[in-house]
Amino acid sequence: MKIVLKNLTKIFPSRNKKAGEEVIAVNNFDFTIPDGKLIGLLGPSGCGKSTTLYMISGLQKPTSGQIFFGDDDVTELSTENRGIGLVFQNYALYPHLTVKQNILFPLQNLRGEDKMTKQQMLERAYEAAKLVQIEELMDRKPSELSGGQQQRVAIARALVKMPRVLLLDEPLSNLDARLRLQTREEIRRIQKETKITTVFVTHDQEEAMSISDMIVVMKLGVVQQIGKPQEVYDSPENLFVAKFLGTPPINVFEGEIKSGKLYIGEAAVLETPGIDDQPVHVGIRPEGFILDDNGPLKCKLNNVEVMGRDVSIVSTHTASQNPQVRSIIDADNKIDPDTEEVRFALKPHKTFIFNKDTEERIFIEEK
Amino acid sequence: MVDSKQQWKAWIYLAPAIVLLLLFTVWPIINTVSMAFLEGYSGLTKVGGETTFRLGIGNFTRVVGHPDFRQALLNTVLLCVLTVPISTVLALLIAVALNSIKPLQKALQTIFFLPYVTNSIAIGMVFAAMFNVIGSIGTRRPMIVSYGVVNDIIRFFGGNWVNWINSGSEYWANMFVMVVYIVWNALPFKILVLLGGLQSINKQYYDAAKVDSTPRWRVLTKITVPLLSPMLAYVVITGFIGGFKEYTSIAGIFGENMGPAHDAGRMNTMVGLIYDSLEKDNQGGASAAALILFGIILVVTLINLWVSKKRTHY
Amino acid sequence: MSESIRTMHTPNVKKNSLRQKILRPVGLGGVYLFLFIMAAIVLFPFYWMVISSLKSLAEYRLSPPTFFPKTILLSNYAEAFTTASLGRLFMNTMYVGLVSTLLSLAITIFTAFAFARLEFKGKELLFAALLATMMIPGELFTITNYSTVISFGWLNSYTVLIVPFLVSIFYIYLLRQNFLQIPNELYLAAKVDGTSDFKYLWKVMVPLSLPTLISITILKMMGAWNSYIWPRLVANDEAHRMITNGLRNAFTDTTGDVNYPVQMAAVALVSAPLFLVFVFLRKYIMSGVSRSGIKG
């Protein structure tokens, strides 16, 4: 079932009434979530991603705009009547119920065509438990489980009634690194198997990129860019998106366009035909550097980190906005760690130019 | 840190409390227990009176064997068993209802707390007035001047009037009035505690219940009540302790007769019995009765704790 | 999971919307109706007390009764005041209440301070022993205290109403917890500056614990106002009688053909101060009560 968000806006009144300031948590969000896809809502804290999720769930009411499930307008419909599954950030497992009782709980509320017999419920519960590999934990209480186990129970509870829409709020934030990796693969697998339209919220770009069919990057309530993860990474529409996606993060330089060329410092690093002369921000992905003794970009070498497959070169440049310039090149390239200076050529498709004031992308015309 | 100067100073700060506690708390414990187990011993007579007392449980057997004791025990237990569940369930429903509304919540909360700040004797007199029938009831042809407002309301709805508390009234009618008054009196504290408990339950459980399309009654029985069980245990235990010490509310409604005019003492309680013994200079009996009361409260509290521990661990 | 991949049925949005539109207001209306009915029941005795106290005896005896007095008769209050000699009772109770509150506060503050800040041998043990006595019903103490005060010759005096109840373990416990929340650094800093313990207690700890002290004061005053059993036992003479006993004594008959308007006026007069305290200091009462579980 597709989900349509139309001009969705949420304004929180100010806590301090005298100040009278309102907080626009979500501003005019327009998006159609395609049926059966996994969508990652991504952004730093306070960007409105969770608010958007809670508006889809019905736990929060939009200030204006509409939400459709399929063709039905559900904007005014309360959560109980939307038939969704939701995994809370802190799981919200009922502490007095066992894992089994927690998973059975949503089934016992089903009515009408979905109503089940006790036997069917148990079967369903065990199937869901199997899916997230917690069958052995069915008789424990949530307090006796680790964070990762609780999280799987929460997913099982959200999944067990096979909702039309599954929503996940920072579902991996409480897990350790290894478990996080493992669980996000599981979520992806389960979603693919069940083909439930899934929206999940995270501040971790790597997480979102790795499992989403599409990502939505948000900042201060405003959608910055929507697209397939690789597309957004390869072609960020503004400096914020460029900076937010990618590890290690993108390198940003002060630059200038002068008579069709991009200058970083004194060096002309790229041809930029058709762009007016102006000061700009230049973003270069770490993998956008080519080690080249005759390259135009001269940096002062700090150190070289060998990471097996790749080599990470840490250097400095006066025009860099980050304290360090970090580039990743193939390990086949040999570099003497004792040299003072290192020179790079740039890959044009990994180099992005942004307007100095609006920070919007300035595209270089393809030849 | 602990030098002798500090030690000395600490005891100066403690001195007034210690002296008073020794006199009015520690000595009474020792003395009351001794009086209970010493036959013929009395705090009043010990100064110059008889010295022929001996160790024994005679005080206990005499108290337990007395018909007044059985009546008082029955009254007290009945009051507890009736008022604690009724007031707890009512308080729970009111607290849940209060917690689910926004407009008028504060105002209603204040109204429900009002009975707390009352004088048991004074408001007991108001309840007596509401249930009282004016006229000659006991005679063959009763002449009723006023049925009392409660009977008037019953008659308005087509029911028969009841002789609630007047001379010739029945035991169950007396008991009904007491239960109504004690429940009315017990509600504010319970509502206050339960509402505080409800407000400290994580809202996410209710959001999760909404996501799961949980019907209202199921939210109440499967989520609210279990999560509130520590608070419920607290109000039930304090309710039982208070119930076993019931005395003034009965004195408020029936006066010091502790019963309707034709059967004084019929509504007496354990505490009332202790004071009666005291006024009759039967210190040993009073002590024994007090110890029995203490024992009952202790046992009931332990049972409550045990049950609630079995039911609330999560 | 292949077989059960079939997701749940799409909720019928139109039906659900309609049901929501009808059920929501009905449910909320039901909640308010329940609360209003319960509130009416809770308030009814107060309402009945006030309107009865304003009726004439003849009107009071009407059956069915009037729910608002036809003629408002304030003379009931004057009569109640003289019948029960409420003036004297008010004075006695206020005197006992004030003196016992002040002394009790002082003792509570000193004791709580010693338990919270000073070091001495057996501190934990002593405190645990004190807490244990809270389990024992008061009647157990009363029996011996009765003979103690008789042998002291305290019967029918203010002393007997004040002294035996000056120490309250519960108040000490409450205040100690409050004192413990005040950071120890403040105390050590004061020691470095050469501030004496006593000065520190009065200048820092007491002001910081004011809300708790106010709660204690109110509960203690209410306790004096509502005390009934002990005063009846030891000071039921004209000169020292407390308000609740005075009220009960003046109107011994609760049933039968009693002059209820006057009696209700007396009850209203006795209840009024409690209401005033409640109206202005509700916050302190409620916070004290929710921690105590004991009345008064």
What average pLDDT does the structure give for chain A?
A: 88
CA distance C3 to chain A (A): 10
Q: How far apart are CA B134 and CA B128, in angstroms?
A: 12
**Residue A271 pairs with which residues in a beta bridge?**
A261
Span A36-65, pLDDT tens digits: 899 999 998 888 899 999 999 999 999 999
Whether residues C31 and B245 touch (CB distance < 8 A) is answered with no
What average pLDDT does the structure give for chain C?
A: 86
Of C27, C270, C286, the CB nearest to B119: C270
CA distance A160 to chain B (A): 10
Q: How far apart are CA A22 and CA A19, in angstroms?
A: 9
Of B114, B253, B290, the CB nearest to C46: B114
Query: In C, which residues are within 8 Å of B63 by CB distance?
Result: none
pLDDT at C3 over 50: no
pTM to 2 decimal places: 0.86
C260-292 helix and C75-83 helix, angle to the nearest 10 degrees: 70
Residue of B nearest to C219 (CA): B117
Check whether residue B87 and residue B142 sit in a common domain. yes
CATH architecture of the domain covering C84-250? Orthogonal Bundle (1.10)
Query: In B, which residues are within 8 Å of A97 by CB distance?
Result: 222, 226
**Residue A178: in which H helix or E strand, if any?**
helix A177-194
Q: How far is CA B54 from the centre of its chain?
A: 35
Q: How far apart are CA A11 and CA A240, in angstroms?
A: 23
Domain that holds residue B17: 1-56
Check whether residue B256 and residue B302 sit in a common domain. yes
- For range B132-143, the mean pLDDT: 74
SS3 for chain B, per residue?
Answer: CCCHHHHHHHHHHHHHHHHHHHHHHHHHHHHHHHHHHEECCCCCCCCCCCCCCEECCHHHHHHHHCHHHHHHHHHHHHHHHHHHHHHHHHHHHHHHHHHCCCCCHHHHHHHHHHHHHCCHHHHHHHHHHHHCCEEECCCCCCEEEECCHHHHHHHHCCCCCCCCCCCCCCHHHHHHHHHHHHHHHHHHHHHHHHHHHHHCCCHHHHHHHHHCCCCHHHHHHHHHHHHHHHHHHHHHHHHHHHHHCCCHHHHHHHHHHCCCHHHCCCCCCHHHHHHHHHHCCCHHHHHHHHHHHHHHHHHHHHHHHHHHHHHHCC
Whether residues B97 and C113 touch (CB distance < 8 A) is answered with no
pLDDT at A311 over 70: yes
Span B201-242, pLDDT tens digits: 999 999 999 999 898 889 999 999 999 988 898 899 889 988
pLDDT at C184 over 90: no
pLDDT of residue C189: 85
Span A197-256, pLDDT tens digits: 999 999 888 888 888 999 999 998 889 999 999 999 999 999 999 999 988 899 999 999
Count of the separate structural domains present in chain B: 2
pLDDT of residue A18: 61
CA distance A171 to chain C (A): 22
pLDDT of residue B291: 92
What average pLDDT does the structure give for chain B?
A: 87
pLDDT at A71 over 90: no
Of A78, A161, A164, the CB nearest to C20: A78
pLDDT at B64 over 60: yes
Domain ranges across chain A: 3-242, 249-362
Give which of B213, B248, B258 is closest to A79, Cα–Cα: B213
pLDDT of residue B263: 87
pLDDT of residue A365: 66
Check whether residue B48 and residue B72 sit in a common domain. no
ipTM of the complex: 0.88
Cis peptide before A248 (omega within 30 of 0): yes
pLDDT band at B117 (very low <50, low <70, confident <90, very high): confident
Place of tokens 């919270």: C116
Strand pairing report for A325-330 and A361-362: unpaired
Q: Whats the size of chain B, residue-wise? A: 314
Span B158-187, pLDDT tens digits: 888 888 998 888 999 999 999 999 999 999
pLDDT at B140 over 60: yes
Burial A188-200 (b: 16+ CB within 10 A, else e): bebbeebebbbbb
pLDDT at B17 over 80: yes
Contacts with B302 (C-beta within 8 Å, 6 or more apart), sequence order: none
Span C40-67, pLDDT tens digits: 999 999 999 999 999 988 888 887 788 8
Residue of A nearest to B226 (CA): A96
Q: How far is CA A171 from the centre of its chain?
A: 12
pLDDT band at C295 (very low <50, low <70, confident <90, very high): very low
Query: In C, which residues are within 8 Å of B135 by CB distance?
Result: 257
CA distance B57 to chain C (A): 17
Residue of C nearest to A77 (CA): C17
Check whether residue B135 and residue B214 sit in a common domain. yes
pLDDT at C296 over 50: no
pLDDT of residue C294: 43
Write out the two tokens for C273.
């101060």
Could you give the percent of chain A with pLDDT greater than 90? Answer: 39
CA distance C71 to chain B (A): 19
Q: How far apart are CA A267 and CA A232, in angstroms?
A: 29
- B19, B25, B26, B29: CA torsion to nearest 10: 160
**Coil, strand or helix: which one is A198?**
strand
Q: How far apart are CA C268 and CA A241, in angstroms?
A: 72
pLDDT band at B146 (very low <50, low <70, confident <90, very high): confident
Check whether residue B286 and residue B154 sit in a common domain. yes
The answer to whether C270 and C227 have CB atoms below 8 angstroms apart is no
Whether residues C6 and A77 touch (CB distance < 8 A) is answered with no
DSSP state of A328: E
pLDDT at C5 over 80: no
Query: Among residues 53-112 of chain C, which lie with CB inside 8 Å of chain B?
Result: 60-65, 106-107, 110-111
Check whether residue B276 and residue B132 sit in a common domain. yes
Span C151-174, pLDDT tens digits: 898 989 999 999 998 999 989 998
- Where does a domain end: B24, B56, B88? B56
pLDDT of residue C2: 40
pLDDT of residue A239: 93
DSSP state of C205: I
pLDDT at A175 over 80: no
- Domain A3-242 part of CATH 3.30.70.20: no
pLDDT of residue A201: 93
- For range A96-107, the mean pLDDT: 93
Query: Among residues 163-182 of chain C, which lie with CB inside 8 Å of chain B?
Result: 163-167, 172
The answer to whether B115 and B185 have CB atoms below 8 angstroms apart is yes
Write out the two tokens for A153.
């129970």
pLDDT of residue B138: 63
